[in-house]
Amino acid sequence: MSSLLKSILLTSVKKLTFNTESVGWHLLKVSARVKSEKQRGKNQTDDEELIVTIDDRTFSKLNTKQALYNSPAAFNGGKLHNKEKTIYFLLKLNKGEHSITLEPQYGAEVMEVSYKPVHVSDDQIELTINNQAEDRDRKPWMTFVLDGNDIKSITAKIDLQWRWFDGDDVQVVIDGKIKKNTTSLFHKNWIYYARPIIDIGGRAQTETFSIPSDSVGLHYVEFLADRMPILKTVKLLMDEKQVPDIKEYNLGLAGENYNRFNPELINKVSFWNSHFLQGQYPPPPQALDPNLIKAIMYVESEMGFGINSTGHPAYPDVMQIGDEDNPAIHTLNNDGWIDPNTKSVAKEYIWTVNGPQVMDYKGEANVDTVENSIHWSVRWLYHKAEIIQDDGARGWRSWKDAVARYNGGGDFEYIQKVYNVYEKGIGRNSIKLWSIVLLLLSFPMFLSMFVLFYYQNRFFVTIDLIPESKLIYSQDYRFVIHALDGVRLRSFEIGQYAGHGGNIDIFGKNDMPEIEKIGKQPHVDSEILVLSGKNNGLQNVVMLIEYSKGKFKHITNMSENRGISKTFHGDNIFVANRDADSEPEVIEEYFIPYSNAPDEWWVSYFDFDKEIEQYKLTHIDRVRS
């Protein structure tokens, strides 16, 4: 472990800083001794104490407001009587600078402060401890402070030995409850115990204890020792089910992947939930839902695919807290920036156990990456949810009120937009992001199953009005192809119809295209869809769409006289696979009438070029009729 401090007598507050290189689990170790009032000397009326704060997180006794000195995560001289105790904090920490603050009452001898990153392998964290207790009589020995509800169980291997007239015993207390020994009448509160004579040569005992899952999300595992046992190893089993359930959005009309930042969302929301739900009183009554942050991200930037009217890039600042006139980043950093709207310095206060303090992340807050944009926006939303009451106590707004304050009032419909996405799955221009599941659940079960069965592997096209048409007299439409894949509705915009003019490369709005599947070779994991209809000029139009693994893609074509096009058009169009490859060939026929010569059919042949994944015109035949 990386050492921060060794063997020092503290009589005043000591703050230690360290840097983590990545986001994840970290183990922090603090070992210390504190004296009882009698050990301090005559006429002393109070014990030495030592409390530990990590960043601005405190670790009070569970279900109490500010019982810091009597917490299992603190050092109490009345209990320890100058015996060494070690506290291991297993916490999720973000990349960057962190601090450990040691606050003694009267004094404390700190033996060691250190830290290291730990890794999860096969849903487990394994720790080698090798800590032997000083000879003691049923006193606190070690405490493991566990962050969140991710840890399902703890397994501890302890070496025990029978000594002269007494043996090593260990009591385990989890969240204030003693783990009972049901196999021994004389050691009912001591689940690890050395047997007289039999264990004179020593033995190892391994026990596993479940960790309760609750709304507090902070757990204390205490080991109290009698004599000199040795804690060899600890294994922590992670609950893989604890990954937050985040809604999968359908693809955008142009194939946008609105789920591309799901891992970052889960990670950052989990980090700040752990930060605020544990060790600080009172915590918010409800943890922040990552789906709410995802809805905000969609409204703010459409996951980086959108366009901001202010010109601020939608990517990488996907949460849009770093735009020019937004005070958020400046307030987080307390950098002295003057808000052009209020003409005052961007400075706000946060609640701490020592009273309100100016929020100041000293330049750490930035939106240079997607991860940072999400990280600091979640912190900003928590700030908007926090209330500092007149008496200095902390309170919390609802998340809906916090979202309104997050926006700052610039968009009066902001709350409605966010909650339409969050609660109904309705995005911009009434795009259905995830409502297909809710729709199915609203049907009777037999009807839902029928719909799911009937529409599986079927494709259909809808025509949607584009409300943001640039010309007021124009009614523009978009054609969207859909597929029901399991219970997910996959959607893809195939083209737009301009009501004020025409576009011969797309279907007319009154002519719904027909869909036909073209078979490919058995080893090819995709389907080719042929969409056929008529354009405004009443020519036949054919569009080829590839569908593979839940994604649609245009198959374009290229010729010298019309360049790259998404459609084929002519008087007749034939699509058929007549050779050994997996893609069909396309033939266009145009009828050319002449007044002074025999009429002709111009026949254009297109074949698929695998290198450029495009159809190329190979040759044209002119056939007289």
CA angle 218/224/226 to nearest 5° reads 175
- Are the beta carbons of 615 and 546 closer than 8 angstroms? no
For residue 316, cis peptide bond before it (omega within 30 degrees of 0): yes
The CA distances from residue 385 to 382, 394, 398, 419, 455, in Å, are 5, 11, 7, 17, 43
Give the tokens for residue 272.
């700040």
Exposure of 133 by Cβ count < 10 A (0-12 exposed, 13-18 middle, 19+ buried)? buried
What are the start and end residues of each CATH 1.10.530 domain in the chain? 262-429
> Which of 36-40, 185-189, 254-258, 296-300 comes out lowest in average pLDDT?
254-258
Q: Encode pLDDT of 451-491 as tens digits.
A: 556 556 778 887 766 544 433 444 667 788 888 776 666 77
pLDDT of residue 454: 58
- Are the beta carbons of 269 and 284 closer than 8 angstroms? no
What is the residue whose two structure tokens read 């026949």? 603
Annotate 588-622 with b (16+ C-beta within 10 A) or e (fewer). bbeeeeeeeeeebbebbebbbeeeeeebebeeeee
CB atoms within 10 A of CB 245: 9
Q: Encode pLDDT of 233-278 as tens digits.
A: 999 988 654 445 678 888 887 778 888 888 789 888 988 887 887 6
Q: 3-state DSSP call for residue 576?
A: strand
CATH architecture designation of domain 262-429: Orthogonal Bundle (1.10)
β-bridge partners, 619: 605
Residue among 604, 559, 561, 611 at smallest CA distance from 583: 611
Residue among 152, 173, 169, 171 at smallest CA distance from 160: 169
Q: Which residues contact 529 (CB under 8 A, 6 or more apart)?
A: 459, 481, 515, 516, 517, 518, 544, 545, 546, 547
Q: In the predicted model, is pLDDT for residue 586 greater than 60?
A: yes
Confidence class for position 311, pLDDT limits 50, 70, 90:
confident
Q: Reduce the secondary structure of 287-354 to three states and give it as a string.
A: CCCHHHHHHHHHHHHCCCCCCCCCCCCCCCCCCCCCCCCCCHHHHHHCCCCECCCCCCECCCEECCCC
Q: Which residues contact 223 (CB under 8 A, 6 or more apart)?
A: 140, 141, 142, 143, 156, 170, 171, 172, 231
> Which of 61-65, 130-134, 598-602 comes out lowest in average pLDDT?
61-65
Confidence class for position 594, pLDDT limits 50, 70, 90:
confident
Q: Reduce the secondary structure of 11-69 to three states and give it as a string.
A: CCCEEEEEEECCCEEEEEEEEEECCCHHHHCCCCCCCCEEEEEECCECCCCCCCCCCCC
Residue 342 CA to chain centroid, in angstroms? 34
pLDDT of residue 221: 98
CA angle 492/495/498 to nearest 5° reads 140
Q: In the predicted model, is pLDDT for residue 515 greater than 70?
A: yes
pLDDT of residue 5: 95
Rg of the chain taking only CA atoms, in angstroms: 34
Please state the pTM of the whole predicted model.
Answer: 0.49
Average pLDDT, the chain: 85
Q: In the predicted model, is pLDDT for residue 362 greater than 50?
A: yes
